Amino acid sequence: MACIVRALAVAAIAITPAFAADDPAQRKDLTAVIALHGLPCGEVASYEAKDDREFVATCKDGNRYHVFVDKNGRVMVEKAR
Amino acid sequence: MGAPAPPSSPSAPVQRTEAPAAALPAIASNDAKAPVASPGSAAPVPDAAKPPAAPRPEAAAKPETAKAATLAAASPKPATPPRTEAKQATQAKPESKPAARAVAESKSAPVAESKPAPAPESKPVAEAKAAPQAKAAAPLDLKSLEQRLKDTSAIGLMTKLSLKNQVDDLIARFRDYHRGASKVALAELRHPYELLLMKVLSLLQDGDPALAQAINASRDAIWEVLADRDKFLQLA
């Protein structure tokens, strides 16, 4: 039973798709990327890292953006729901 | 006003060589005709009694220049430009001599005393000003700038990627222009180019001001590479 619980716990951690992070440099980076794309944000208040190059950024003005690098190496910024 | 003698007065060297004569207008200010007569009458007098005209080559060539130089020395203008201005004014407006003479006579005494000291500094200062301009026009090293942009920690990874995308897009537009595949005029590409540079500079100016300065100094040189077909093809 303990083994099963441990296995489930490990699996849950491994599967977790995104995690909140609070690296000021990354927030600044995301803020700059969103600004470079000419989208309203002001400043990124928090973000979730889904991958090394995929984030969901939440701006201080309430806007949320999906920031990622596509297959062609282009940085994309899309409005997140 | 005239009290703090500008350290880099162009007319100062002239005044320095005329150190004994500098006192002459001061004396002449009491006797108003003396300085007017001195440049013209300097040649026949061989001894050191009247040294003013002898040491200055310009004054020997053109007596009016001496007056203009005196006027320039008397004027409170900053140091660098006046020498040429004084020459031009003298050559262009001979009829203004009496007025200039009057001004020189009325003001020369106190100014002439305060000017001579900083004389030798004027030329080095001018050279020092010219030096940064020469550095700014130094040959463009795109590879170095590119490497510095890649290495700088002032811009995050995603921002660098995003900037690279935008640079690539702009270069593609220039490529189309040079191929003739685009109807866009070269002048229309200047605006997006400047805009992109502004973005780069605004991202760098706080975190890596030296690189921002280097890029800003290369702004025109980079544009020349992009605008010139041959240079652009070499770049590509």
Distance from CA of B184 to the nearest CA of A (A): 23
Whole-number Å distance between alpha carbons of B124 and A42: 49
User: What is the residue type of A12?
Assistant: A
The two three-digit tokens of residue B213, written as one number: 């300065």
Q: What share of chain B is helix, strand, coil (3-state, %, to 5)?
A: 70, 0, 30
Residue B28 has a pLDDT of: 36
Distance from CA of B4 to the nearest CA of A (A): 49
For residue B83, name the pLDDT band (cuts at 50, 70, 90).
very low
Is B198 within 8 Å of B116 (Cβ atoms)?
no
Distance from CA of B194 to the nearest CA of A (A): 14
The pLDDT of residue B31 is above 80: no
Cβ within 8 Å of B, A 4-33: 25-26, 28-30, 32-33
Q: Chain centroid to CA B231: how far? A: 30
B165: nearest CB among A26, A53, A74: A74
Whole-number Å distance between alpha carbons of B82 and B87: 8
Number of H helices, E strands in chain B: 14, 0
The residue assigned the tokens 């407006």 is: B93
Whole-number Å distance between alpha carbons of B9 and B111: 12
The pLDDT of residue B213 is above 90: yes
CB-CB neighbors (< 8 A) of A67 in chain B: 158
Mean pLDDT of B21-37: 37
The pLDDT of residue B94 is above 70: no
Q: Which of B19, B100, B109 is nearest to B67 (CA)?
A: B100
| B158·A29 Cβ contact <8 A | yes
pTM of the predicted protein model:
0.53
Residue B138 has a pLDDT of: 56
Cβ within 8 Å of A, B 186-215: 199, 203
pLDDT in tens, A28-74: 999 999 999 999 999 999 999 998 899 999 999 999 999 999 999 99
For residue A12, name the pLDDT band (cuts at 50, 70, 90).
low
pLDDT in tens, B143-164: 899 999 999 999 999 999 999 9
Mean pLDDT of B87-106: 42
Whole-number Å distance between alpha carbons of B6 and B73: 10
For residue B142, name the pLDDT band (cuts at 50, 70, 90).
confident
For residue B235, name the pLDDT band (cuts at 50, 70, 90).
confident
> Could you state, in order of their start, the residue ranges of all structural domains in chain A?
18-79
